[in-house]
Amino acid sequence: MKCVIQRVLNASVTVDSKTVGSIEKGFLLLLGVADGDTEAEAQKLVKKIIGMRIFEDENGKMNLSIGDVGGEILAVSQFTLLADCKKGNRPSFTGAMRPEEANRLYELFVKMLVDGGVKKVDKGVFGADMKVSLINDGPVTILLDTETL
């Protein structure tokens, strides 16, 4: 699994001009599920995300977690994170998990975030054409890959 974490002041996702998810201060997560990923990778990723200390403390140091600041999460599925660009100019997505199983792991990932105590977790619509808006805070953007965690 690959996950882009963006620390945001707010973020939202719309489908067909309708807002389907929105948050205030917290994380926008873009999640790519790779072929062969399992519940274990989802759990490892959730544990890392919830523990990430990338919010500033009273001294301006990145030392606080999402729970420490009462932050919210917007989780959006994004298979394009699995793009293979080694050959030619057209990305291949053969490394992405088949949609039915990827959706199951995405939904499990979201449930694990909720079960992990995140104040509010909203999500996009799996497989939909989504428009994502955000105000990046910092900017702080981090890429996590379960192959290297």
What residues are annotated to the active site?
Answer: 78-80
- From the CB of residue 44, how many other CB atoms can be counted at a distance below 10 Å? 15
Q: Are 22 and 12 in contact (CB under 8 A)?
A: yes
